[in-house]
Amino acid sequence: MRQTAGTLNRTWLTILGIIVLAAGIGLLLQASGQLHSLANTAPSSERVVTGDLHAVTSPQWVVVVILIAGIIVGVLGLLWMLAQVPRKNAADTYRLHDDGAQGFTVCDPSVLATAVENQVNTLPGVVTSSALLRGTATDPDLTLKVTVNDRTDVQDLIHRIQTSTLPDLSNALETPLQKSRLQIDVSGRTQGTGTVVHSTGTVLQ
Amino acid sequence: MNRQGAHQLPPTAAEDAASGSYGGGDDDIGSRGHTVLANRVIEKIAGQVANDESSAGGSSGGFLGIGAHADLSARPKASVELNGNIATVSVEVGLLYPVPLRRATEDLRQRIRGRVTELTGVEVRQVDIKVAWLTSEGAAPGRRRLL
């Protein structure tokens, strides 16, 4: 149900990997003495810095630049760590009006999620369910977690969700669902709400 | 004359005609008194129209808003903001699931606008609708049919 920073991690790890790989190749070439012939740099035995290093670091602006660069790297690292916290990223209020001049029509996504949950809970074998809507009213995105009893016919349940729950939600929003994810969990508990049986008896007048 | 939170009905064409027939003329309309409409009247009318003429419902029961439950037969909560003869109505409704929400709320908006203007003479310019809950037909509470 919660979203993690998978893409961000992959991107940054790729960037850092390429940098470290390039540095490693450079060090290997330098150590083996081939960097001198390839890039026309100083050979490994020669001293590059001849004078006193203190003269380079003594100006005030060098310290300030290093300090700012350090703070930027630190903040980026901290933001990356904070991005690891799994988030729900639930949608904001769905706006269902086309033109605000006539008045606004709003619906909280949790209202729709509750309606979906109530509907799924009446399906045979469902112990509990939880729905989460993301996206916008025109591009809705449903994540549904259904906990079923261990004797439930899962294929039948999936079929029922695909033929009744999802079309009902897209009918209510009058737009097809952009994405729908279904997670099925199995539990030893029995269905709490009782199975809804449609009446087939004769109505007495 | 026009108290805060209340709306004074403007003299309509029918009233003008009536005043003419009684020999009063336009000058002494004020001397016959004023009809003052409280905001709550328009709020109740809007709520009742929403409940009667569509499937929208409100919530009932509970104490101080705690423990209230969704009820399709209850009157939806409405609030009105009046600026002269122009009103902005906000209603909080519950609807049946799965009705097409855009279409249902647009119908509701047109009905509230039409009926409130017809019954009170106040021009309803905007109707803000908030869908507060959705209930499925099978679980609709409080509506049992006696066979």
Q: How confident is the model at residue B18 (pLDDT cuts 50, 70, 90)?
A: very low
Tell me: the pLDDT tens digits for A90-141? 888 999 888 888 889 999 999 999 999 999 998 888 999 999 999 888 999 9
Place of tokens 């809970």: A121
Residue A7 to chain B, least CA–CA distance (Å): 35
Q: Which residue from A114, A172, A196 is facing B138, i.e. has the nearest CB?
A: A196
Dist CA B92 CA B56 (whole Å): 9
Mutate to test the interface with A, among B105, B109, B127, B145 (most CBs of A within 10 A): B105
Range of lowest pLDDT (A9-18, A191-200, B82-91): A191-200
Q: What token pair was written down for A184? A: 């099925």
Identify all chain B residues contacting A172, using CB atoms and an 8 Å cutoff.
97-101, 134
For residue B89, the chain A residue with the least C-alpha distance is: A103
Q: Is B102 in contact with A96 (Cβ distance < 8 A)?
A: yes
Dist CA A195 CA A135 (whole Å): 32
Contact B49, B42 (CB under 8 A): no
Dist CA B124 CA B87 (whole Å): 5
B139 has a pLDDT exceeding 70:
no
Closest CA to A44 of A55, A32, A52, A56: A32
Look up the ipTM and state it.
Answer: 0.71
Instruction: Check residue A120 and give its pLDDT.
Output: 92
Instruction: Check residue A10 and give its pLDDT.
Output: 95
- CATH 3.30.930.10 holds for A94-187: no
What superfamily does domain B37-138 belong to in CATH?
Answer: Cation efflux protein, cytoplasmic domain (3.30.70.1350)
> So where are chain A's domains?
6-82, 94-187
H/E stretch holding A68 reads helix A60-82
Q: Is B97 in contact with A106 (Cβ distance < 8 A)?
A: no
Q: Is A196 in contact with B103 (Cβ distance < 8 A)?
A: no
Tell me: the pLDDT tens digits for B23-55? 445 566 667 887 788 889 999 999 888 888 766
Dist CA B44 CA B38 (whole Å): 10
DSSP string, B93-106: EEEEETS-HHHHHH
Instruction: Check residue B29 and give its pLDDT.
Output: 66
Contact B46, B40 (CB under 8 A): no
Share of chain A above pLDDT 70, in %: 92
Tell me: the pLDDT tens digits for B98-116? 889 999 999 999 999 999 9
Q: Is B136 in contact with A118 (Cβ distance < 8 A)?
A: yes
Bigger pLDDT: A1 vs B4? A1
Q: What token pair was written down for B57? A: 């419902």
Q: Which residue from B99, B105, B134 is facing A105, i.e. has the nearest CB?
A: B105
- On whether any CB of chain B is under 8 Å from the CB of A163, the answer is no
Q: Is A115 in contact with B97 (Cβ distance < 8 A)?
A: yes
Instruction: Check residue B147 and give its pLDDT.
Output: 57
B57 has a pLDDT exceeding 90:
no
How many Cβ pairs within 8 Å bridge chains A and B?
A: 77
Q: How confident is the model at residue B21 (pLDDT cuts 50, 70, 90)?
A: very low
Residue partners of A62: CB distance under 8 A and separation at least 6: A56
- Rounded to the nearest integer, the mean pLDDT of chain B is 76
Dist CA A190 CA A186 (whole Å): 11
> So where are chain B's domains?
37-138
